[in-house]
Amino acid sequence: MNENGYHMIMIINSKYERMILMESLLIMNNNIELHNISENISLDFLKPNESARIKEIQGGHTASKRLFELGLNRGSEVKMMKNDFGPIILYLSGHKLALGRGLAHKVIVER
């Protein structure tokens, strides 16, 4: 708990490889209030027509460079178009982009 009475809680569900970060859990007089709940997931877990913002790239130098060249940078807004089998297809800055699942798994997005 910090000086404002806030707690930081991180829940990791490895079965679905999702990480949910709950910020600002405030407990006062046995009442619980949640603020600023954000869900960080891998890009390949987005559903069709779902939008997200790129939070980070979890890859080596070569993968990070390749994703940067494709325009997948921290802060970029993406929209999933197809995510059923084969490569995923997403919209990025008004353009369609096909991305392999291995590379897509290295992109962490925030819903």
Please tell me whether the overall predicted TM-score, pTM, comes out greater than 0.75 for this model: no
Delimiting residues of CATH 2.30.30.90 domain(s) in the chain: 42-110
CB atoms within 10 A of CB 42: 18
Look at residue 39 in the predicted model and tell me its pLDDT.
84
Q: What are the structure tokens assigned to 83, written together?
A: 């995510």
Q: Which residue has the tokens 């997931």?
A: 41
Distance of alpha carbon 84 from alpha carbon 98, whole angstroms: 13
SS3 47: coil
pLDDT of residue 111: 86
Tokens read off for 9: 């809680």
> Could you tell me which CATH number the domain at 42-110 has?
2.30.30.90
* H helix intervals, 15-97: 61-70
Please report the pLDDT score of residue 20 as a whole number.
Answer: 42
10-residue stretch averages of pLDDT, the chain, 111 residues long? 51 43 45 62 94 94 94 95 94 94 95 86
